[in-house]
Amino acid sequence: MNTFLPVTQIQIPSGFIDLGIGDPQLSLLPIELIRQGAENCFAQNDLSFLQYGAEQGNGYFRLALAKFLSAGYGSPVEPESLFVTSGVSSGLDLICTLFTQPGDTIFVEEPTYFLALRIFADHGLRLVPIPTDEEGLVLDALEEKLAEIRPKFLYLIPAFQNPSGHTLTQERRERLVELCQERDFLIVADEVYHFLNYSLQPPKAFAAYSGVRNVISLGSFSKILAPGLRLGWMQAELSRIEHLVTCGLLDSGGGMNPFTSAIVRGIIENGELEKHILSLKTTYSARLATMDAALRRYLPGARYTIPQGGYFFWLRLPRDADAEELLTKANEFKVSFRPGIRFSSQGGLRQYVRLSFSFYESQEIEEGVKRLRQTLEKKVTWYNPHL
Amino acid sequence: MNTFLPVTQIQIPSGFIDLGIGDPQLSLLPIELIRQGAENCFAQNDLSFLQYGAEQGNGYFRLALAKFLSAGYGSPVEPESLFVTSGVSSGLDLICTLFTQPGDTIFVEEPTYFLALRIFADHGLRLVPIPTDEEGLVLDALEEKLAEIRPKFLYLIPAFQNPSGHTLTQERRERLVELCQERDFLIVADEVYHFLNYSLQPPKAFAAYSGVRNVISLGSFSKILAPGLRLGWMQAELSRIEHLVTCGLLDSGGGMNPFTSAIVRGIIENGELEKHILSLKTTYSARLATMDAALRRYLPGARYTIPQGGYFFWLRLPRDADAEELLTKANEFKVSFRPGIRFSSQGGLRQYVRLSFSFYESQEIEEGVKRLRQTLEKKVTWYNPHL
């Protein structure tokens, strides 16, 4: 059998360092915790986690998750406000199915998470980009657009944004929550990096505003436990939860991941999830520092803000080089990255690249940045009249 | 904490027998097989099943599934033609997102699976019912409708249909495959009961025609292993698979259930799935015989065809009683069922009920049918002039 049988989503050619990958490193996935969580489930002799699950998600899992989130956010979360998903992508997909029609307009940050753009495209949505700065979404620009058109929703990543790393300030969050009520549009806040904070305690999560009918917060275990579990959650106002819970997909298939949520429930209840997140933060902080040092050393002409959480550096290339041109040359040096244009809903951001420090250890991060420098130098030689 | 914390999708009031439930009985879920499958995964020290999975599904899982299906269907299945889903419901949802627009027309069987109707409704689809008889979909009626309108797809359950129990004949299958090419519409075949055959070897599965671009076959582990795993598959022509695999939802979240598919892979590879299905068939055959005997004894006026596979009896009530009226009275006798109207896309089938023999053991099945008789008798007294 010569068939190619991929197991994981991304395969990296041997010897390559792809600094674009926004996945956790395999060795950071806590297999022993998950093995123990599974073993506990099987030992209980209660088979209900193998049955069609409650549409909103296993009640005891939501209770455990609510306690975890209450501690993490520093504000109370009720299990009734939580809805279990198969991850943020499935949550976004469901929101699009239930709350939009093809041709509807939504607002997205510029830059934004390029794979969310793909989900929105599958639902035929029209995207209007709203500029961002170092404090996140620019509200004046948002208000200008709101004067022209009311979007079905605004999709944003408020903490340690993908790709920019920026965090929306507390002041802007509050104004945004006012605006979504005044102008009646939905805020869909993808808060997947909220708990991966290193040098900044992020402002109040949008989850804390989810008593407001127009605010939905999305969370996930992909970044804080393991992506393969396909487990996440939404937090929303009760009538919104009711709408989600009674939809056809759930009525038919039952809750989204009864088996994996039963496994994760134990990991939360025994406090291991919190410990694991602390250990991830230590690891990622060190890698972030390494990447920062390597960038200063090898790419002093690149401009960026040091991220304070999450997975990503967002660089403006030295001499405003074109990232897509650079990418074709990077192959030769066995290095890769994600060009900025992929994060633009309007084909812009060509001088930017996203680098991730989640997937590699410090030594490879340094080597990867060094190879980026070689790639840039190779390019530059063509323009250097002295050679 | 007084909060109600449901774990499973259906909660049955104490003492009740709900013969409407189309779930497998908890005790039929093979926890030991799944525990062993999980243990094997954890023992391999390969963490890739915890990572974002390949969009099409784990390649080795697809290879194992292809071998299992090749044996089961008696015709070769290639791993390239398989796409891993989170179950039939998620597959239907994805098909609606990618291949339809709100306002599009689709054809469904009358009667059909009521929860699929809910998914179609969420996608804003217009439903046109096509009548069925004991040989499945009535093709003359289909051709008449096709002369008026081309549907985006025809949704059907070709083997041991839910709720009717009927199986589409080989002859009709072949003509249907011709028609979908002549008139260019998609066949979405929900083949979830295909392997639960008791007294009839079903005709060639639509999976066997999935080399035809307009045929998609949906399968699931919910009925042959455990619903809580949220694991199923689609089989389709390669360009169709390519469309599914490159959609936004998968590009973002990766393959649909890498963790549970790695667990199930081992259960297939060691032959335990086949053995388990044989044991299910023995159990369900016995329950079917019990329900048939109980119906003959207690409800001799009910009309039905003895099902030859699947989960369901589809009864026409004695004296054409109204099933919804009966349902309100059934409460008093602590018995329940699904009234026919729920399986109609046009509010018909009021004299029918669906009974399932998957969820209860023989003794309860008999007791449940006896209670149905009591319910019917109570109703009849009102009309009996001699009392």
Instruction: For residue A163, say if its preceding peptide bond is cis, omega within 30 degrees of 0.
Output: yes
Domain borders along chain B are 17-29+274-379, 31-273
* Alpha carbons B283 and B362: distance in angstroms, whole number: 10
User: Hey, are the CB atoms on A31 and B42 less than 8 Å from each other?
Assistant: yes
Side chain identity at residue A360, one-letter code: Y
Q: Is the pLDDT reported for residue A380 higher than 80?
A: no
Compute CA distances B186 → A18, A381, B122, B162, B213, whole Å. Answer: 40, 55, 19, 20, 8
Compute CA distances B326 → B81, B114, B352, B356, whole Å. Answer: 46, 19, 11, 17
- Residue numbers in A near B10 (CB within 8 A): 52
Q: Is the pLDDT reported for residue A176 higher than 70?
A: yes
Reduce the DSSP state of residue B233 to 3 states and report it: strand
Contacts of A78 (CB under 8 A, 6+ apart): A66
Q: Is the pLDDT reported for residue B173 higher than 60?
A: yes
pLDDT score recorded for residue B380: 55
For the domain spanning A17-29+274-379, the CATH number is 3.90.1150.10
Give B280's pLDDT tier (boundaries 50, 70, 90).
very high
- Which of A48, A97, A227 comes nearest B123 by C-beta? A97
> Mean per-residue pLDDT for A147-174?
98
Contact, B236 vs B208, CB < 8 A?
no
Q: SS3 letters for A211-242?
A: CCCCEEEEEECCCCCCHHHCCEEEECCHHHHH
User: Hey, are the CB atoms on A122 and B249 less than 8 Å from each other?
Assistant: yes
Q: What does the buried/exposed string (b/e) look like for A167-183 if buried means 16 or more CB atoms within 10 Å of the residue's CB?
A: bbbeebbeebbebbeee
pLDDT score recorded for residue A251: 79
- Cα torsion angle, B139, B145, B147, B153, sign: negative
Contact, A64 vs A210, CB < 8 A?
no
User: Hey, are the CB atoms on A97 and B93 less than 8 Å from each other?
Assistant: yes
- Cα torsion angle, A125, A131, A134, A138, sign: negative
In whole numbers, what is the pLDDT of chain A averaged over residues?
A: 94
- Which of B79, B227, B256 comes nearest A254 by C-beta? B227
- Residue numbers in B near A226 (CB within 8 A): 50-51, 259
Closest residue in chain A to residue B23, using alpha carbons only: A52
Look at A122-126, B3-7, B81-85 and tell me which has the smallest mean pLDDT. B3-7
Q: In whole angstroms, what separates CA A228 from the centre of its chain?
A: 15
Q: Does CATH number 3.40.50.10490 belong to domain B31-273?
A: no
| Beta strands B136-137; B126-133: pairing state | antiparallel
pLDDT score recorded for residue B248: 81
Closest residue in chain B to residue A48, using alpha carbons only: B8
Provide the strand spans (E) within A293-380: 312-316, 335-336, 338-339, 352-356
* Alpha carbons A159 and A352: distance in angstroms, whole number: 20
Residue-level length of chain A: 387
pLDDT score recorded for residue A49: 95
* pLDDT per position as a tens digit, A15-28: 999 999 999 999 99
Q: Is the pLDDT reported for residue A384 higher than 50?
A: no
Q: Is the pLDDT reported for residue B33 higher than 80?
A: yes
Give B13's pLDDT tier (boundaries 50, 70, 90).
confident
Q: Is the pLDDT reported for residue A162 higher than 90?
A: yes
* pLDDT per position as a tens digit, A37-87: 999 999 987 899 999 999 999 999 999 999 999 999 999 999 999 999 999
- Among B370, B345, B321, B381, CA closest to B127: B345
Give the ipTM: 0.92
DSSP for A129-163 reads EEEEETTEE-HHHHHHHHHH---SEEEE--SS-TT
pLDDT score recorded for residue A379: 59
* Alpha carbons B204 and A15: distance in angstroms, whole number: 48
